[in-house]
Amino acid sequence: AVRNAIDADATELTDVRRQERAVIEYAERAVASLRELTTVYQEDRRDLQTHMDAMSATAVFRRLEPKCCPRCDHTISKAKKELESSTHSCSVCGESITNSEDGEAIKTELQERVAASEAAVVSASAKKEKAENELVALRGKIDLLQSRLESASKELGSAVRRQEAAMAVAALEGRLEEASISPVAQAD
């Protein structure tokens, strides 16, 4: 019975060790994934903040009404200012001016990316925690199985010693019985 228990525990220990290796690999992948997703989340937040800062700066600069070119101090004519409002091209440099609706669309897209990456980080964190908890449970089971194997091995060792002692006692009892059989004739 003790040997059968040892065999069963050894088989179970092998299976649990195999599960432990699989969970360790899973946990390592979860940690790496969490690290990568955290980086993406931080980048998305930084992009959103940069965009919002740029929108704020653009709003401030659009309110400015330059009277002359900031580089050469040449005055800007009223015709150029009127052309700016009708064609949405800068009266100073002539480039087209993006409108705030484009900025709002970009802001919405960036906010969606931040929310998606944050959800991914939360999910990856939960997977990491689950893997770590499972690993702790498996290691506890391994410790239990190892202690059971040690105690069963000790029990088996004491059972073998008991069996050897019982055999020695039986041999001595047999010799004693032989010696105590009817006395043999003196001549013999």
- From first to last of the 188 residues of the chain, give the pLDDT tens digit: 777 888 888 899 999 999 999 999 999 999 999 999 999 999 999 999 999 998 888 777 777 777 777 777 778 777 777 777 777 777 666 666 666 667 788 889 999 999 999 999 999 999 999 999 999 999 999 999 999 888 888 877 777 777 888 888 888 888 888 877 766 555 55
Distance between CA atoms of 127 and 131, rounded to whole angstroms?
A: 6
Helix intervals (H) in the chain: 2-62, 78-87, 100-180
Rg for the chain, CA atoms, rounded:
43
Residue type, 66: P
Name the nearest CA neighbour of 100 among 156, 43, 60, 42. 60
Report which DSSP code applies to 91.
T
Q: What pTM did the predictor assign?
A: 0.59
Distance between CA atoms of 81 and 97, rounded to whole angstroms?
A: 13
- The answer to whether residues 38 and 121 touch, using CB atoms and an 8 Å cutoff, is yes
Name the nearest CA neighbour of 140 among 29, 19, 2. 19
User: 158 is written with which tokens?
Assistant: 């004491």
The 3-state secondary structure of 25-63 reads: HHHHHHHHHHHHHHHHHHHHHHHHHHHHHHHHHHHHHHC
